[in-house]
Structure 1
Amino acid sequence: MELTRLPSTLALALALAFLSTTHRCDATSESIIGSRETCDIEGEDITVDKILNTSCFRCICKNGFVECLKQQCPNIEGCYALLDPRDDECCHKCTGCMQNGVYHASDTEWTEENDPCLIFTCKAGVITESKLRCYTPCSHPKAAPSGQCCPICEGCLVNGQKVTEDRSVTTTEDPCVTCKCNKGHLTCAKQACPTLNCPSTRIVDVSGECCPHCRGSARFFSPPKGACMLGTHLYNSGSEFYMDHCTRCTCVNSAISCIRETCPVLECPREHQMLLLNRCCPQCLLVEESRASCSYGGRTYVDGENWKLDSCKTCTCKQGKVRCAMPQCPPMNFRCPPNSKLEHPEGQCCPRCVERDGVCTVFGDPHYRTFDGKFYSFKGACKYQLVTDCFSHTFSIRVTNDARKTKFSAWTKTIAIKIGDLKVNLGQKMRVKVNGKKVNIPYRVANQLDINRTDDSVIVNTRIGIKVHWDGISFLEVSVPSSYRGQLCGLCGNFNSQIKDDFTARHGRVVQDPQQFGQSWIVGGAKKTCPRTKFGNNTRQRRCRERKDQRLCNRLKSQIFYPCHKKVNPAMYYKACLQDMCECPTQHCYCESFVAYAHECKRLDIPLPHWRKATRCRTVWDQSISSTNFARRLH
């Protein structure tokens, strides 16, 4: 068929103008770039005057720095028909499609009620119509249910690969075949790829993937009235043209509709498939003889035998032919939602988004960082509820703070962890008791508890996912699974992703004063027996910070910790260090803030291998070895 196009010189000029916008769109930033602003209140929303359209960005205090993230926008990769956002919008959108007066967004598909086998897709303003090709990998399929196109197979197994309801599976012989499981019923079908609306130089065809895709993006170019633009070509309204041997398109009033043939499902290996000249679909050229066994990788498999090639691919032997299948994983460029991270578990095929564990940290003259990120100091020498499951009462962690012969300070002395009928006590110098009896590390209670040690901590792991790090001096870190979100209470806050209500006192009222909040979590009858802590005035604090001991805290801002400075602002830890040095009962109180800062860096995968040696901050194990050697020398 003769193509009806606008003059080639005009088409070329328009195409060049169209492509000139590509770089600008590709460079669209997802975050603000500029000088780093510091902040004090972790997790607090920050207003940044320099951002003109504040509705498009949310700025929060994270690790002591202001971090501004752009509003989550739809993925526009591959779209060469972008629409600019309106004044009240933040995101570029890809042009959608109109059919029979109904709007369909780009990258969506739909069917007609009277023909479930007829599939329509919208891609960057182009509608593609195609017919489903059904595939039945079982011997005795059942008829298609009402309103569905393809017959179903009992059980959800394709070429030895189990199909779960949350993820579809494809075959390696024909990656355009998609199999889905619904309540134990398997449906497999193949549909044609959508017609691409981008320049041919931007089309990428990856081996092993079903459909080619467009790379990059660009703004929408408005062709002359009634005309259509597809790729870099312009077509008059009413024209009909072929994109390839499979695709016939029409242009009607600036809207493009295409009909694309869906190729038959092939079961021969990819290397035996060939596309003949002037044909739409590839075909199997070799007719393989049916046999009772298969050979693969130097091994022989009998008919019907399944085996795994790796964590993604499973194969089966069918009448002498090897058939393989693998799950369809999400694209690697997608972003996980807030409070979650991308994880690729060992032995599993696809990465997945998992919610982050909540982490609460306690250190020094007690400084606290709650599960939701609130940083505060509370000086109280008593027994307190650090964290507990307020709803199901599955666990409880209490701390006893001691003044250590000071008048104005307190440090964490012991921790009591209670889970079911187990009670674990962690004391100074790594002393550990389980149900009142002293134990040696490592220690294990089958299916309930594991207690181990690292170079600087005792680590308690529990079957319910609660994890505790204790350095035997004052540093304490509690991790809880995301399943506890919104269920907790105590000095570590409620773990509901909202920092503003972390000071929820025992009676349920939100308070502002950390002393009032902390005192509300005194446990048992301890309130009457606890000593009253005296608090110094501002004059005394200023005198403390003028002492020469502050030079020890300055190491936190030195080259020793420099690799982490861009990720975690040391300002809050430096301030905590100065406070701890005001009335320090030992020679190494500055180390408490260093330990907490180094742990936070480690959680962000920033190693600080030599910081202890450079700062002379020893672990409890080091102190124990030193004391033992000293005793031996005396002896």
Structure 2
Amino acid sequence: MDSIISDKSNVDSDLYIPPTDSFWEIGKYSRVVKRCDDGNKLTTDLISMIGERAELEKSFSKMLKSWSKKWSEYVAKSSEFGSMTSAWKAIMAEADATAEVHQNVHDDLQNDVIPSVKSWQKGKYVKSMMHVKSTKEFDEEFKRAQKPWAKLYGKVDKYKREYHVATKSLKTAETQENNSKLDSSVPQDQRAKITERVDRCRKEKEAARTKYAEALQDLNRANPKYMDDMNDVFIRCQTFERDRLVKFQEFLANTEKCLDISHRLKAPIVQQFSQTIENCDPDKDLSWWSDTYGATMKMNWPVFEEPTNLDHCHHQPQSQHNYFSYSGDLSLGYDICYRRPLAQIVSQTNAAVLVVDSYATIRRSMRRTAAVVTRIRRDLAKREEYSESHRTLSRRGKGDIERENSVIVTAIRSNNNGPPNFASSSDNRLLNHILINGKIRHTLPYQTDDVIIRRASTVFIEVRNIQSTVVIHFDPLTSRIYIKLHPSFFNQVRGLCGTFNYVTKDDFLTPNNVIETNLVTFANAYLASSCSIPDQQIDTCFNFPANEHSARTECTNLLKHSIFSSCSPLIIDPTFFITSCIRDLCEDQSTIHRDQVKCSAITALAHACALKGIIIDWMSNKTLASTCQIINYGQCGLTSRADYSECVSECQSFCTDIDLVPSSCVNQCLPGCTCGVGQFYDEHSHVCRLQQECSCYESQSEQYIHPSHSFLVQTPIVSNCSCSNGSLQCTSFDHNQCSSTQIYSLNTTFCPRTCTNYLSHYDCGLYGPGCTCPSGKILLDSTSHQQKCISIEECPCQYNRQIYIENETIIQNDHGCQNCTCKKGGLWSCKKFSCTKTCTIFGHSHYQTFDGLYYKFPGLCQYILVKDINNLFRILTQNIQCGINGQVCSKNIIIEYNGVTIDLIRERPILFNDIELSNYQNQPIQFGRIYIYQLGIYTIIKTDDFIVKWDGQTYVDITIQSNTEMSGLCGNNNDNFDDDFKSSNGASQINVFDMAQSWQTSVQCTSEKNQSLNNDPCGDSLAHAQRRIWAQHKCDLIKIKSSIFNNPFEICIEKMETHLIEKYYQACLYDACHADHGGDCESVCTVLSAFAAECQSIIKTPIIKWRTSDRCPMQCDSGKVYMPCGPV
């Protein structure tokens, strides 16, 4: 680097030789003025250079396409077959993709970069006759600035010459006088004349000197103004030229971005190319050829046949062929937990459930046992019509479910640290077992007419119905659960995973038909059995603050490891995984628990990447692999001849799959141990074997049968079975104290029906002596000490932890704008109505869309915040930085509406079509349909279509009608925040930067892509980390209920959801840590103000006075007092 700098300095010294004359001399400013013409020429040359490169890209693209077409035609006509044909085609597919990339480079250069340069040049260098207009203007300005000084300079120069002439004349006269005095021959009268001349010259010299000095004094007095006037013009010239240099830097940077094809070559293209080559299987291709055209084809060999019924046409036997049907990735046709590949990440002590249509998390202590209970009903497999009055995953019939019509599967992993082996337990404890209908199952697979339970890989257990419309994968080691549903379940399910209808707003829909706002209440509405339930979410890091630092460090280092760089953060955002890991680690810092939690997070992130087509070989990293060693995750064994992979086919990976997996099995990526081509993993011996070496599994006796061994199976029919090629071949033949409302019962279910769960209740299969309700009655509340049995019609309604009786109503503005009335049976009847929606921006970089999606984006360009679909109006925003750390201290807002432009700029009057407004602080000003006025600390712009509220600094919110379709950084306002990351061309984006940059108003402006990716709000620099303690002290007001000091937000903390509080707390930390000294309090106050507004909207009453003389004080005008919620 030093040598590069040294070389650069040498080049600069050669290029820039300082002139000998000065800029301040008369007319020497011409060099400065000439830069305008030079800049115009340089811009033209830049356009030519970029255009030539664009044509090179286009030419290369054409060459690749021509080559691909030629060889594609060859392959189509060639004799190649099988998987090798796919390999040939993959080469051409890669060429086509690469050609498309280079064509896109050409298009971007030709259509985006070059037009932007030309457009800028056209506006920058306006022509006037033979020169650029700015050249003439700057020249005239310099002339005007120099003219007064030049006039004085002319006088100085004139008087200087006169003074110099007078001085020389005096010198000559004095010399002559001295010579005459030495020469006695000079007459006296002539000497007198010489002396007179000397006196005259001396007077002339003094007079000239006085004029010269006075002129010079006048010039010196004029110098400051001259320099100011000239410098003013020079600064404008410098600004003019600096704009060119900055723009050239941007143009070249945009050119570099276009030429950088690393981000254009999509990983799936390259991986598909590689995977296709690796999937070439000569043995399989030859086997197919032999079966189709060769010696292994079936043949109806001639046999001696007696004549059959001669009165009918002879029935020609049909040839029988076995076809293997292969389909693509399951995620293409199935929704994973209704919306996302990752449905749950569960540690052994805490479950973090990702509600699919939203980002809310539910945390519930599971201590050290993770369990999955699954019910697949027979009528679910038949997909009968969904009943509107029953809200469980499967359709429920009237009354209790008969045991034989359902299969209840419970997978239990205890504190044992080994992999689940489904072996029996000698002390009757449930250690690594599967219970099916309450009975321990020691081995897999298990199959009925409706359900298959099997190992999908060495990691995952699979439960699915025969039609594979419901598929559940469960990892007992890391407690991960993935649920996949067929699209036929669209809008037909409810529960913790949401509603599967692509509307995020109703994911918290409870069985009694109301959308909950309280996360715990929502979860408890689907409570399946009695247990101790908290009344609010528990943040473990607040209970164990000493653990937070180490937990944050460990989780961040692991999940932001460079090995994930091809996937995270641009493809998969690791924030959710990191946050879940941190909270789980905070609870328990024991070595075993820490490694279990970290392994769960690592494997979940790796699998999420795999579902996106990016395979991470994280097991090759010793640090990551050692984290999972303590629970034996991914340990394939030294003698198994198997290797761990994140992408193992779930189709026919095990010997037991040979009999079990249908030909329609979808080849989905799952993590686990993989064998070589043509081999299967034998669970009996735990090694990879060829098919003919596979043992067989007999489900009735739960035994493995060695190859070629025979045995008898006793059922109503006796079967003689043998194990051949991993498949059982059988030949069968005929061988003929309680409350006043309860009653005591010896056969009481441990999972009673209650008012809370009766719509989603299922029979867990566990019975014993105890108290139960009489027939026709259910429990009012299973958690109450005074358990009371009532009829279903008597059940009250519940919402947000409150009880409502029949005919009471609630209004839900934040969840679909509906009015709900409590009906009999605890059911809500809701009607939608028109209401308003608000998008909020506050602080350094915090956005909350109309649909409620919160994200952070610290871009510094100008962006379209809101634009309605009819182009009636649009609202622009731009962050304005100040301070040494680039702190955002204000936001410029531009409103374009019906041909009017309104500018909101900090510490300046409102500009209405560039005209400054006044007096709107005292009374509203109306311009047609536009009202402008001051409301407390807020400036309000109100129209028939929107309302903008701005605090004059960094808080802005925009309110619209709920039925208005929108676009921009505020989302599209369709009650589904899952699609709020849409670019300006309508395409969905994964990364917030890609989404936001598409809404820039200028393609030349750039923002760094890594500003908001740090999960730690104070961890992206040492300076920010040093402010953490101060920031936490200031921001604790948002989340700490303290008996030491009076927290005005205590009522908010009690009623608001933990994830909402955490959002504002993290925003407060971020802004506080990124602020400079002097602007830090203002940053905190902006977030606190936003939090107060959110709180007020939830509790529906004005909050107490939260501003004090020490905390975010507000200086009111004389005669006025501060109120947190004053009259309009």
TM-score by length of 1: 0.45
Larger radius of gyration: 2
Identify the structure with the greater helix proportion. 2
Identify the structure with the greater strand proportion. 1
